[in-house]
Amino acid sequence: MKQSKHDLGSTKNEGMENVPMEERRQFLKMGLAITGIFAGGTIFSAVSVIDRVFASSEEFTAQYPYKPHYGMILFQNRCVDCERCVAACAETNHVPHEGYRTRILMKEMPDAVGLKREFIPVLCNHCNVPQCTRVCPTKATYKDPVNGIVMMDTSKCIGCLTCQEGCPYNARYFDEHRQAVDKCNFCFDTRLSKGEKLTACAAACPASCRVFGDLSDKGSDLYKAIHQLERPVWVLRPEAGTKPSVFYTKDTSAVAFK
């Protein structure tokens, strides 16, 4: 019966503290947050979130350019790659099986201390300086003047795919059924315009990983999750200079399940 000599009491609880978090702490001590990405052991960009995402602190406190200014923050540590978001997105927006508007990337670090795997959901970042809309020859893709969503006007798309080259987030693909480039539009046509408050992916997420909302609404969960100094908030590929409306973070507190 006493076959196992293993002392369970000594089993360490390593909690959330994996390497990137520790490194982040270091930076946080200096009053900075990580806006870069953790790449194979080195953090290549550490700048104050506020300065990085908006040109200056003044701009940060000033109004967001759109009303509502739709955006999303992803709690990266909560994603379990169950892909309910991917399925819900495909069903809601008639995404063909060859394509996707959102997907989950997997990062594995076999040598990491503690957790060795993490999932990174990606989607269109609805950039505030979008490159795709700049390069489109026919304005088939454009930034909606009201809500800041990067939209597609499929009837104008000539299929040159320059927007795909321009997108630093691989958020676009050519949809043979629509005969146009397709991309995430925060479910504007399928949900938001019909009175729904959430995108299909955010609504389907069982782990409250995706928080969707209005960046310009100071009372929203989204606003609060981004405008704080306790947790680092970052964007993907800040060096591309596109100033995304999609943010990433990790929370250290335990997730509450209902």
Residues of span 239-258 touching ligand HEC by CB under 6 A: 255, 257
Whether the Cβ atoms of residue 54 and residue 128 lie closer than 8 Å to each other: no
Residue numbers 52-111 binding ligand HEC by CB under 6 A: 78, 80
Residue 86 Cβ vs ligand HEC, minimum distance, rounded to whole Å: 14
Nearer to other proteins among residue 161 and residue 229 (C-beta): 161
Contact call for residue 15 and ligand HEC (CB under 6 A)? no
Which single residue is written with the structure tokens 């089993």? 11
Contact call for residue 16 and ligand HEC (CB under 6 A)? no
Residue numbers 112-131 binding ligand HEC by CB under 6 A: 116
Nearer to ligand HEC among residue 74 and residue 215 (C-beta): 74
Residue 199 Cβ vs ligand HEC, minimum distance, rounded to whole Å: 18
Q: Which two tokens stand for residue 55?
A: 């040109």
Percentages helix, strand, coil for the chain, rounded to the nearest 5? 25, 20, 55
Which single residue is written with the structure tokens 């405008």? 227
Nearer to ligand HEC among residue 112 and residue 240 (C-beta): 112
Residue numbers 187-226 binding ligand HEC by CB under 6 A: 206-207
Contact call for residue 47 and ligand HEC (CB under 6 A)? no
Rg over alpha carbons for the chain, rounded to the nearest Å, is 20
- Contacted entry of other proteins, ligand HEC, none for residue 37, CB cut-off 5 to 8 Å set by kind: other proteins
d(CA 166, CA 163): 5
CA dihedral for 145, 165, 105, 110, sign (positive or negative):
negative
Residue 9 Cβ vs other proteins, minimum distance, rounded to whole Å: 8
Q: Which two tokens stand for residue 234?
A: 């970052």
Q: How far is CA 130 from CA 9, 114, 142, 158, in A?
A: 53, 37, 9, 19
> Which parts of this chain interact with ligand HEC (CB under 6 A)?
8, 11, 78, 80, 116, 206-207, 255, 257
